[in-house]
Amino acid sequence: MTQSHRIEGGQIDRTKTLRFTFDGIPYQGHPGDTLASALLANGVRLMGRSFKYHRPRGPISSGSEEPNALVELRTGGRQEPNTRATVAELYEGLTANSQNRWPSLRFDAMGVNDKLSTFFAAGFYYKTFMWPKSFWEKLYEPIIRRAAGLGSVTREEDPDGYDKGFLHCDLLIIGAGPTGLMAGLTAGRAGKRVILADEDFRMGGRLNAETYAVGDAQGADWAAATVAELSSMPNVRLMTRTTVVGAFDHGIYSAVERVSDHLLTPAKGKPRQILWRIYTGRAILAGGATERPIAFENNDRPGIMLAGALRAYANRWGVKVGERVAVFTNNDDGLRTAKDLQSRGVDVVAVIDSREGGDLLPGIRHLRGAEVIDTSGKLGLTSITVRQLNGRSETIAVDALGVSGGWNPNVNIHSHHRSRPVYDPAIAAFVPGKDGPPGLLVAGAAAGQMSTHAALKTGRDAAIAALDLTTAPELPQAEDAPVGITPLWHVAHGKGRAWIDLQNDVTVKDVKLAKQENFTSVEHLKRYTTLGMATDQGKTGNVIGLAIMAELTGRSIPETGTTIYRPPYTPVAMGTLAGRSRGREFKPFRLTPSHHWAKEQGAIFVEVGNWLRTQWVPKPGETEWRQSVDREVLATRKSVGICDVTTLGKIDIQGTDAGAFLDRVYANTFSTLAVGKCRYGLMLREDGIVFDDGTTARMGENEYVMTTTTANAVAVFRHLEFCRQVLWPEMDVQLISTTEAWAQFSVAGPNARKLLEKVVDQDISDAAFPYMGAANITVGGLRARLFRISFSGELAYEIAVPTRYGDALLREMLARGAEFDPIVYGTEALGVMRIEKGHVAGGELNGQSTALNMGLGKMVSKKKDSIGMVLSQREGLTDENGYRLVGVKPVDPQAKLTAGSHFLEKGAAPVAANDGGWLTSKVYSPHLGHDIALGYLKGGDKKIGQRMRIVNLLAGLDTEVEIISPHMFDPEGERLRG
Amino acid sequence: MASLQPLTALGRREATTVTHGPLTISERTDVALASVAARNGRAADLAKAAQKADVPLPGPASHQQGTPYSAFWTAPEMWFVEAPYASHELIVDLLKSALADTASITEQTDAWVAFDLSAHDLTRLLERLCNVDFAARPTGYATRTVMEHLGVYLIKHGPGAARLYGPRSSAESLLHAIETAAHSVW
């Protein structure tokens, strides 16, 4: 298909042709085109169907404010719904499809909604689907959801990557039109670090779409020369295809850079988009202005467009949207469109100017005091009906109509901190108000300075003011026309629907209905009619809507006000916000020193925070996890097992007050601990609830090593630093984490000592190194640490070496201790053995339980003060019949237990009032041959030996159990002291 | 007696070097590291002892080169001291004998993975990884920052030279993040 609507000129590269398809039909365009400009060049005006009524729609703008021309771009995993054709840069091989239509764009069955529009007025859902109530979730909502929405999402994974990044500058300039370029030149020449960002792929803003001169050059040429100068400055960073989407606190702005959206696929390794966080001393909003339409009957047909867009398509892209064009305007800028089009040889058949009186354009039929009151054309504009000043109606055949209702400054970013824009009647638009983000200045059209001269001047002055500059470049000559506008928001004549918000199909009638039903606040108007919602956030429609509401209520426009502006300025894909944090890259992993050995063995890993811990290590022939875990438990209890416990937090605590410090942070006493000994410690929160537990060893007079649970390693360290720095800065205590510095292994089982004797250099006999001993030792001369502590109930040690030797130590222990058939066990076997032994862990350290609950009440020393000691004695926490940790076994050894099940007395109804507590942890004990569990039972310490039920209504379990001591294995502790 | 062979943080026998475009990432396994924290009220004594022992104790946010000891500030009255691993594997013992009871000293060598980054200019790489204004910071700048959720120390040795200390257990994740950013930039 030829580019039938292409005319001379424009900033496109005609030496290259780009092929693309829309709804499967092939077309051609050129570098520099957008999808919209290329389709228009090919005579395609119909690009989509509207949201609610499925009305045929074409683009009304040439920029990011576009509400209509939304397409699905690309296919497969890269398919992206709701892409604005007006900003989608054309590339070779681009594939686009229209959306919100079935079966085709030209014939859309859902167009029936348009015929039924009486039933779909604002508030329709709220009124219609209220009865019967039960139908909402099952019937109405699914149907509405299927019918509503724009475009469809792909079910495939997005194959592209998205980066995040951080930038710093003295001055961020948002928008690279005449204002932004002049500000950039001023700051750049002064040597300041400048970031100049523009959402377009070509800098210059409106200068690219206009024909007037700046200095001695065409505006677009001046822009290109200025960009060239700026790009030669090392202190200036030019960022095209970059939309500043939000203003945040402390001079921080966010911006989305579309790195690869103009390519078929991103280059290898390159991201598709980057979400930047920009830290800047000052910022200038030079975001220009957005033209708004005028509402009149049937003002939504393809071919009806903003006048400035019609002009931009001709001047920048060399495209005439129609063969016979009319312009409907209430201001002088609309006249510019007529003049530009005519000078390009386009047949401008009429200018309908709602203002009475004044000069007439030479050589064009210029109707003053006239209005467009209706249009026709099923899939695109064919004619307009004009009501002249004398009341006479006339139908004029046109295939394109430019509409200009005035220009709205783009105040959005300035209003992101809730600054309310103020109405400026001189330009009939809202301009930035007071109290914008600190450090943000506004210049040019965004500040309501509409002429090119004013843009250049205010851009320069803003840079001077922002950076306290003493020198500045000369201003080039430029047009300085005043804004000549007489507001006209909607045409009163005509009975049909006049569209305000084209994206959400909101009409003047909807605003009237909202008023009638007393939704007169703009925020209510928005929610009731959906005015200004969705991807365009009402950039073209909002001001008209509120102006009409002002008219209806008799309030002024300033009294009516605007809705709140929030980031992002334009839509941001979820993938961009997620960045690299998805799938395997969702978070970083922490690998244990034995990870590589375990991987060689085919170990199964479990995520514990960021750690990957060995869960179990299957042996050949083991087909089910319990086989491996049971074997690991039995082998450990029979001979010896090794477990990587590096993940437990290790905190080095030094200083002359280290012991006194520990006395305050632990419920039990540590200052009396002898050097070379370790002790189990219980740490409480201020409110008396147990925070964490672990063993702490005294390695020297003023030197302790604390261990924490894996889960709380960071939290405990943070807590200790808070205590040290804030609560007791007078104490001589220094802290540092050494979790990662040492590879630590638990060696447990009757043969643990015999195995270790083969690798360590010192005498570790029971006499030389008794239970709860701790020492700096050596392994083949290498510095190491040894602790005689047990979590499994076995004779057990923990041995630590510098992390780089961890892998070798494990292999050495396995090799040298081969005669004892040592096994490596994972977290599952660890869990079985600690439950058999009645040690508390995650399920019991649940942030709700006290030492008393855990049967550890005596550990809270009353002889000294410690964090949580006082509040742990609260009445509610010391109830004699409160929860106590108990062991549980099923009466029938074959019966299964489930963690989370609740204790009930025999015969009691399973209701909350009869709840006796719950099972916190459950495992199968291969040693005992049946399920065992730990649980919190009310008055549990008095119920040992009793029979109860455990009930789990979700799992359908009701099992008779016997309450037993939590110490279910070797209750006397003979093995660990052996 | 046991004779243990070390592994690097990346689980290899030798230190890893990766190049991509202008960037070289070199894992450093030859650095001994210890934290030195002044005992309460002993900062002056520590400064005196450190000066005598040629242990630099630079001011906030800075790194100071020296032989054999270099150091960077990590917190008020706290530093990380670097020295060649071959000669100073027992860096804690050596520092303890030099600084005595003026400071609490803790071995940190294997708590960290060290990567040296070199390229003509590292700004474009580091702006994808952390919020440090690398270009504007002077040589010798040292700071704690975050890269891909990982707390790291970043030391600027020049516009095109920096050292990173990241958590050793996450060495693979950190290297992956740097490489991904490098491919994204170059």
Residues A178 and A282 in one domain: yes
Q: Which of these, A290, A282, A278, A287, lies nearest to A253 by C-alpha position? A: A278
DSSP symbol at A526: H
In a domain, B46, yes or no: yes
Rounded Cα distance between A685 and A847, Å, is 9
Residues written for chain A:
978
In a domain, A543, yes or no: no
Residues B128 and B70 in one domain: no
- A631-668: pLDDT as tens digits: 999 999 999 999 999 999 999 999 999 999 999 999 99
Which of B108, B142, B170 finishes a domain?
B108
CA angle A537, A540, A543 (to 5 degrees): 90
In a domain, A599, yes or no: yes
Kindly state the average pLDDT of the residues A205-209.
Answer: 98
- Say whether pLDDT at B2 is over 60: no
Q: How far is CA A160 from CA A76, A154, A243, in A?
A: 12, 14, 20
Kindly state the average pLDDT of the residues A785-791.
Answer: 95
Looking at residue A68, its pLDDT comes to 94
Q: Which of these, A885, A793, A886, lies nearest to A831 by C-alpha position? A: A793
Q: Phi first, then psi: what are they for A333, rounded to 5°? A: -65, -30
- B87-106: pLDDT as tens digits: 999 999 999 999 999 999 99
DSSP secondary structure of A694-713: EEEEEEETTEEEEE--STTH
- The shortest CB-CB distance from A165 to any of B38, B127, B169 is to B127
Q: How confident is the model at residue A148 (pLDDT cuts 50, 70, 90)?
A: low
Rounded Cα distance between A659 and A672, Å, is 8
In a domain, B77, yes or no: yes
Q: How confident is the model at residue A105 (pLDDT cuts 50, 70, 90)?
A: confident
Kindly state the average pLDDT of the residues A952-966.
Answer: 95
Residues A379 and A451 in one domain: no
- A389-406: pLDDT as tens digits: 999 999 999 999 999 999
Rounded Cα distance between A261 and A266, Å, is 8
In a domain, A131, yes or no: yes
- Say whether pLDDT at A44 is over 80: yes
- Say whether pLDDT at A973 is over 90: no
In a domain, B58, yes or no: yes
Tokens of A532: 């200004």
In a domain, A751, yes or no: yes
Residues B101 and B116 in one domain: no
Residues B91 and B80 in one domain: yes
What is the residue range of A778's domain?
A: 590-646+742-825
Q: Do A805 and B4 touch (CB under 8 A)?
A: yes
CATH number at residue A367: 3.50.50.60
**For residue A676, with 0-12 CB atoms within 10 Å meaning exposed, 13-18 middle and 19 or more buried, which class applies?**
middle
Rounded Cα distance between A478 and A218, Å, is 10
Rounded Cα distance between A589 and A611, Å, is 6
In a domain, A116, yes or no: yes
Rounded Cα distance between A550 and A539, Å, is 18
In a domain, A838, yes or no: no
Considering its fold, how many domains does chain B have in total?
A: 2
Q: Which of these, A862, A864, A853, A914, lies nearest to A886 by C-alpha position? A: A853
Rounded Cα distance between A858 and A978, Å, is 25
Whether the CB-CB separation of A529 and A122 falls below 8 Å is answered with yes
Residues A317 and A439 in one domain: no
Looking at residue A150, its pLDDT comes to 75
Q: How confident is the model at residue A971 (pLDDT cuts 50, 70, 90)?
A: confident
Considering its fold, how many domains does chain A have in total?
A: 6
Residues B124 and B175 in one domain: yes
Distance from CA of A599 to the nearest CA of B (A): 12
CATH number at residue A24: 3.10.20.440
In a domain, A436, yes or no: yes
Residues A148 and A13 in one domain: yes
Residues A664 and A770 in one domain: no
DSSP symbol at A843: T
Q: What percent of chain A has pLDDT over 90?
A: 90
Which of B108, B138, B160 finishes a domain?
B108
Residues B87 and B149 in one domain: no
Is B114 an interface residue toward A (CB < 8 Å)? no
Q: How many CB atoms lie within 10 A of CB A779?
A: 26
Whether the CB-CB separation of A272 and A241 falls below 8 Å is answered with no
A607 three-class SS:
strand
Query: What's at A3, amino acid-wise?
Result: Q
Q: Are strands A650-654 and A611-616 parallel, antiparallel or unpaired?
A: unpaired
| Chain B environment of A780 (Cβ under 8 Å) | 1-4
- Say whether pLDDT at A354 is over 90: yes
Which of A127, A154, A181 finishes a domain?
A154
- The shortest CB-CB distance from B172 to any of A587, A591, A780 is to A591
Whether the CB-CB separation of B130 and A166 falls below 8 Å is answered with yes
CATH number at residue A640: 3.30.1360.120
Looking at residue A976, its pLDDT comes to 81
Residues A141 and A22 in one domain: yes
CATH number at residue B81: 3.30.70.1400
- The shortest CB-CB distance from B184 to any of A269, A655, A743 is to A269
Q: Phi first, then psi: what are they for A228, rounded to 5°? A: -65, -45
Which of A382, A405, A428 finishes a domain?
A405
Query: What's at A329, amino acid-wise?
Result: T
CA angle A688, A694, A697 (to 5 degrees): 120
Residues A774 and A888 in one domain: no
- A733-770: pLDDT as tens digits: 999 999 999 999 999 999 999 999 999 999 999 999 99
Query: What's at A795, amino acid-wise?
Result: L
CA atoms within 13 A on the CB side of A253: 33
Q: How confident is the model at residue A2 (pLDDT cuts 50, 70, 90)?
A: confident
Q: How far is CA A481 from CA A333, A404, A561, in A?
A: 10, 17, 28
Kindly state the average pLDDT of the residues B147-168.
Answer: 98
Q: Are strands B161-167 and B150-158 parallel, antiparallel or unpaired?
A: antiparallel
Which of B65, B81, B108 finishes a domain?
B108
Residues written for chain B:
186
CATH number at residue A693: 3.30.70.1400
Q: Are strands A823-824 and A796-802 parallel, antiparallel or unpaired?
A: unpaired
The residue with tokens 């009975």 is A495
DSSP secondary structure of A856-873: -GGGS-SSS--TTTTGGG
Structural element, H or E, at residue A227: helix A219-231
Q: Do B104 and A655 touch (CB under 8 A)?
A: yes
What is the residue range of B44's domain?
A: 31-108
Kindly state the average pLDDT of the residues B132-145.
Answer: 98
Q: At what angle do helices A452-467 and A178-189 cross, to 10 degrees?
A: 40
- The shortest CB-CB distance from A809 to any of B4, B29, B37 is to B4
Whether the CB-CB separation of A257 and A241 falls below 8 Å is answered with yes
Q: Which of these, A926, A854, A930, A944, lies nearest to A889 by C-alpha position? A: A930
Rounded Cα distance between A70 and A675, Å, is 74
- The shortest CB-CB distance from B6 to any of A163, A167, A808 is to A808
Looking at residue A159, its pLDDT comes to 95
Residues A20 and A146 in one domain: yes
Q: Do B1 and A652 touch (CB under 8 A)?
A: no
- Say whether pLDDT at A785 is over 80: yes
Tokens of A927: 């040693």
Looking at residue A495, its pLDDT comes to 85
pTM of the model: 0.95
Q: How many CB atoms lie within 10 A of CB A464?
A: 17
Looking at residue A381, its pLDDT comes to 98
- Say whether pLDDT at A50 is over 70: yes
Contact partners, residue A816, CB within 8 Å, separation at least 6: A755, A758, A759, B2
- Say whether pLDDT at B109 is over 70: yes
Q: How confident is the model at residue A102 (pLDDT cuts 50, 70, 90)?
A: confident
Q: How many CB atoms lie within 10 A of CB A342?
A: 17
In a domain, B130, yes or no: yes
In a domain, B2, yes or no: no
Looking at residue A52, its pLDDT comes to 86
Rounded Cα distance between A31 and A19, Å, is 10
Looking at residue A604, its pLDDT comes to 98
Which of A423, A447, A467 finishes a domain?
A467
Q: Do B40 and A165 touch (CB under 8 A)?
A: no
DSSP symbol at A774: E
Q: What is the dihedral of CA B47, B49, B54, B59, to 10 degrees?
A: -10
Rounded Cα distance between A695 and A690, Å, is 15
A29 three-class SS:
strand
Q: Which of these, A646, A654, A667, A639, lies nearest to A697 by C-alpha position? A: A654
| Chain A environment of B75 (Cβ under 8 Å) | none
Q: Which of residues 10-49 of B touch A (CB under 8 A)?
A: 11, 29, 35, 37-41
Residues A773 and A628 in one domain: yes
A21 three-class SS:
strand
Q: Do A734 and B78 touch (CB under 8 A)?
A: yes
Residues A401 and A413 in one domain: no
Q: Do B108 and A812 touch (CB under 8 A)?
A: no
End-to-end CA distance of chain B: 50
In a domain, B47, yes or no: yes
Is B70 an interface residue toward A (CB < 8 Å)? no
Rounded Cα distance between A450 and B79, Å, is 57
Tokens of A909: 């109804």
Whether the CB-CB separation of A105 and A49 falls below 8 Å is answered with yes
Tokens of A613: 């811990």
In a domain, A549, yes or no: no
Q: At what angle do helices A542-553 and A508-516 cross, to 10 degrees?
A: 40
Kindly state the average pLDDT of the residues A777-802.
Answer: 96
DSSP secondary structure of A576-606: HHHTT-SGGGSS--EE-TTHHHHHHTT-EEE
Q: Do A590 and B167 touch (CB under 8 A)?
A: yes
CATH number at residue B134: 3.30.1360.120
Rounded Cα distance between A447 and A286, Å, is 8
Find the largest Cα–Cα distance for chain A.
117
Q: How many CB atoms lie within 10 A of CB A356?
A: 10
Looking at residue A146, its pLDDT comes to 67
Residues A133 and A192 in one domain: no
Looking at residue A125, its pLDDT comes to 67
Residues A266 and A304 in one domain: no
Catalogue the E-assigned strands of B119-185: 142-147, 150-158, 161-167
Tokens of A700: 């020297």
Rounded Cα distance between A289 and A728, Å, is 58
Lowest mean pLDDT among A145-149, A360-364, A624-628, A686-690: A145-149
Kindly state the average pLDDT of the residues A871-889.
Answer: 95
Kindly state the average pLDDT of the residues A160-189.
Answer: 98
Q: At what angle do helices A522-529 and A508-516 cross, to 10 degrees?
A: 120
Whether the CB-CB separation of B67 and B82 falls below 8 Å is answered with no
| Chain B environment of A611 (Cβ under 8 Å) | 169
Is B183 an interface residue toward A (CB < 8 Å)? yes
3-state secondary structure A743-766: EEEEEECCCHHHHHHCCCCCCCCC
Looking at residue A249, its pLDDT comes to 96
